[in-house]
């Protein structure tokens, strides 16, 4: 049976302006500047310069030229709310201590041949028929930035048939792979796994006893070598410890990611622009916002002048009224954008100022052991803002300190109690763990259980599984893989 009912719900929704503001807060300096340029280009009512074009009003008048005689009264457009009594534009009252030396310099972008194009160019030195060339180029196109082909040969055969209309066999693909692709520079590209990549590089070198032994070990005992089962390797190949050490040294010289040596050089290095600067002046911390985050924006005077002329005229034509509606829309958008930027500046400063004072001891000394446990909620509660707002500031912003440029989110960490019941930052514990592992005897590296016991002796009662978690976060392998001969 169908029933109709009336329900009332109280919902809270973000307005489009609020959503845009959150996006502005999240942007780092360079992305914010791009967003600023985009808004200025799209909205002629928004201005950064002090000079207006002389023929601005004429251009607008031509666009809305009215050759008719119809007149319309201005009964539904309130001009006063868009006009200001202040004859001095805002930008004339603003102070700017932005030094000429700090002007943004253009970054020259590296131009050159891409990684894959370089590989394809090398194929021109080989003699192929049409199908073989299509296969070789397809294989090169399947190489990732690390230099590997991660897909199965059967999948490559299927894709060649469907996308390139080349019908071939797995044997033919492997033949082209070994005959051509594996000989391209940098040596090792086109390998299907790490084992094959290392063997290709060794075979390309001049042969000697150690290199031949290295190839034999990789081909027949790769797992033992990777897992550092050195005793088993000595027994299996009847070699001395010195020979095994020489093999280990030879293989360590190889490049496990041959593609990155080329592709990485052709990428544009990311430039980090700090959003804040913290300096120590007379023993006190001083926080400033990067001036590039505080642009001088104002509403175009030409637009205001047009509104004044419209208000003072006794009769209004239809085209004039249409022009004023257009101007009203652009002025609304310009005023909102200026207000949003001011609110962005205030939010960034308030949030970073609170973080700075929360981690006051660290910013004075630079000693990471003085970083206090701090989570997003701690800052959000102090500034009476939502946790998501603090997260937007922390995740994408950098601060310049006397100890280097830091990502703000690095100052956040969970807390853990030491043996005296005091809250300490997990960053402090990770730093101590990293130091202990760096100073261990690499011939007998410390297990997680032993590391746990050492930390307990230092006053940090941490379980073995927690040590393992912190070690993984520090990107440090287990004891067996840290072992050296």
pLDDT value for 220: 93
Tell me which of 108 and 317 has the higher pLDDT: 317
Q: What is the pLDDT of residues 125-178, one digit of tens each?
A: 888 888 899 999 999 999 998 899 998 999 999 988 888 888 999 999 999 999
CB 162 within 8 A of CB 141: no
Which of 242, 263, 284 is the last residue before a domain boundary? 263
Domain membership of residue 405 (yes or no) is no
Domain membership of residue 447 (yes or no) is yes
Residue 386 reports pLDDT greater than 80: yes
Tell me which of 17 and 341 has the higher pLDDT: 341
What SS3 string covers 386-418? CHHHHHHHHHHCEEEECCEEEEHHHHCECEEEC
Which of 263, 297, 321 is the last residue before a domain boundary? 263
| Weakest-pLDDT range from 52-56, 117-121, 375-379, 468-472 | 52-56
State the chain's mean pLDDT as an integer.
79
pTM score, whole prediction: 0.53
From CA 247, how far away is CA 55, in angstroms rounded? 78
CB 380 within 8 A of CB 324: no
From CA 273, how far away is CA 267, in angstroms rounded? 18
Residue with tokens 């104002």: 298
Measuring CA to CA, which residue among 168, 165, 144, 140 is closest to residue 154?
Answer: 168
Q: What is the mean pLDDT of residues 417-422?
A: 68
* 279 token code pair: 């300096």
CB 202 within 8 A of CB 211: yes
Between the CA of residue 301 and those of 90, 205, 329, 458, what are the distances in Å?
Answer: 11, 72, 15, 68
Indicate the pLDDT class of residue 273, thresholds 50, 70 and 90.
confident
Which of 212, 229, 263 is the last residue before a domain boundary? 263
Domain membership of residue 349 (yes or no) is no
Domain membership of residue 241 (yes or no) is yes
Number of domain units in the chain? 2
For residue 437, what is the domain's CATH number?
A: 1.10.10.60
Domain membership of residue 412 (yes or no) is no
Domain membership of residue 291 (yes or no) is no
Q: What is the pLDDT of residues 42-62, one digit of tens each?
A: 888 777 754 444 444 444 444
* 327 token code pair: 């101007």
CA atoms within 13 A on the CB side of 114: 8
- Give the relative orientation of helices 16-26 and 318-358 as an angle to the nearest 10 degrees: 50
Four-residue CA torsion sign, 65, 69, 70, 75: positive
Residue 94 reports pLDDT greater than 80: no
Residue with tokens 């310069």: 49
Domain membership of residue 342 (yes or no) is no
Range of the domain at 457: 417-482
pLDDT value for 37: 86
Is the peptide bond prior to 186 cis by the omega test (within 30 degrees of 0)? yes
What SS3 string covers the chain? CCCCCCCCCCCCCCCHHHHHHHHHHHCCHHHHHHHHHHHHHHCCCEECCCCCCCCHHHHHHHHCCCCCCCEECCCCCCCHHHCCCCCCCHHHHCCCCCCHHHCCCCCCCCCCCCHHHHHHHHHCCCCCCHHHHHHHHHHHHCCCCCCECCCCHHHHHHHHHHHCCCCCCHHHHHHHHHHCHHHCCCCCCCECCHHHHHHHHHHCCCCCHHHHHHHHHHHHCHHHHHCCCHHHHHHHHCCCHHHHHHHHHHHHCCCCCCCHHHHCCCCCCCCCCCCEEEEEECCEEEEEECHHHCCCCEECHHHHHHHHHHHHCCCEEHHHHHHHHHHHHHHHHHHHHHHHHHHHHHHHHHHHHHHHHHCHHHHHHCCHHHCCCECHHHHHHHHCCCHHHHHHHHHHCEEEECCEEEEHHHHCECEEECCCCCEEEHHHHHHHHHHHHHCCCCCCCCCHHHHHHHHHHCCCCCCHHHHHHHHHHCCCCCHHHHCCC
Say which residues have a Cβ less than 8 Å from residue 101's Cβ, sequence separation at least 6.
none
Domain membership of residue 386 (yes or no) is no
Q: What is the mean pLDDT of residues 239-246?
A: 90
Indicate the pLDDT class of residue 88, thresholds 50, 70 and 90.
very low
From CA 416, how far away is CA 418, in angstroms rounded? 7
């Amino acid at each position: 049976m169908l029933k109709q009912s009336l329900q009332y719900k109280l919902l809270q929704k973000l307005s489009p302006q609020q959503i845009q503001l959150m996006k502005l807060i999240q942007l780092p300096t360079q992305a914010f500047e791009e967003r600023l340029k985009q808004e200025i280009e799209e909205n002629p009512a928004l201005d950064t310069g002090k000079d207006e074009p002389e023929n601005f009003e004429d251009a607008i008048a031509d666009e809305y030229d009215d050759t008719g005689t119809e007149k319309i009264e201005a009964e539904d457009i309130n001009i006063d709310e868009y006009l200001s009594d202040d004859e001095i534009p805002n930008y004339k009252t603003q102070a700017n201590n932005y030094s000429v030396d700090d002007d943004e310099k253009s970054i020259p972008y590296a131009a050159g041949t891409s990684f894959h194009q370089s590989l394809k160019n090398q194929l021109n030195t080989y003699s192929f028929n049409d199908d073989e060339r299509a296969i070789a180029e397809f294989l090169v196109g399947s190489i990732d930035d690390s230099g590997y082909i991660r897909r199965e040969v059967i999948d490559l055969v299927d894709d060649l048939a469907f996308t390139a209309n080349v019908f071939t066999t797995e044997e033919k693909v492997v033949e082209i792979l070994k005959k051509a692709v594996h000989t391209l520079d940098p040596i090792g590209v086109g390998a299907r796994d790490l084992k094959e990549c290392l063997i290709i590089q060794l075979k390309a070198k001049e042969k000697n006893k150690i290199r031949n032994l290295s190839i034999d070990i990789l081909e027949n005992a790769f797992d033992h070598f990777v897992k550092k089962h050195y005793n088993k390797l000595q027994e299996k190949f009847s070699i001395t410890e010195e020979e095994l050490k020489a093999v280990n040294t030879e293989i360590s010289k190889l490049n496990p990611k041959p593609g990155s040596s080329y592709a990485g050089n052709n990428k544009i290095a990311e430039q980090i622009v700090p959003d804040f600067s913290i300096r120590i002046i007379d023993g006190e911390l001083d926080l400033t916002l990067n001036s590039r985050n505080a642009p001088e924006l104002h509403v175009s005077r030409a637009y205001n002048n047009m509104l004044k002329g419209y208000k003072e005229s006794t009769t209004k034509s239809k085209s004039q009224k249409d022009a004023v509606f257009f101007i009203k829309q652009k002025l609304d958008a310009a005023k909102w954008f200026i207000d949003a930027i001011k609110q962005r500046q205030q939010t960034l400063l308030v949030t970073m100022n609170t973080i700075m004072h929360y981690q006051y001891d660290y910013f004075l000394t630079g000693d990471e052991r003085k970083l206090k446990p701090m989570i997003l909620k701690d800052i959000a509660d102090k500034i009476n803002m939502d946790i998501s707002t603090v997260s937007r500031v922390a995740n994408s912003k950098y601060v310049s300190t006397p100890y280097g440029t830091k990502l703000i989110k690095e100052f956040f960490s969970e807390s853990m109690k030491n043996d005296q019941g005091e809250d300490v930052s997990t960053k402090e514990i990770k730093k101590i763990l990293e130091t202990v592992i760096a100073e261990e005897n690499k011939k007998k590296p410390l297990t997680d259980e032993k590391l746990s016991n050492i930390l307990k002796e230092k006053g940090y009662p941490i379980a073995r599984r927690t040590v393992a978690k912190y070690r993984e976060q520090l990107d440090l392998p287990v004891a067996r893989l840290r072992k050296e001969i």
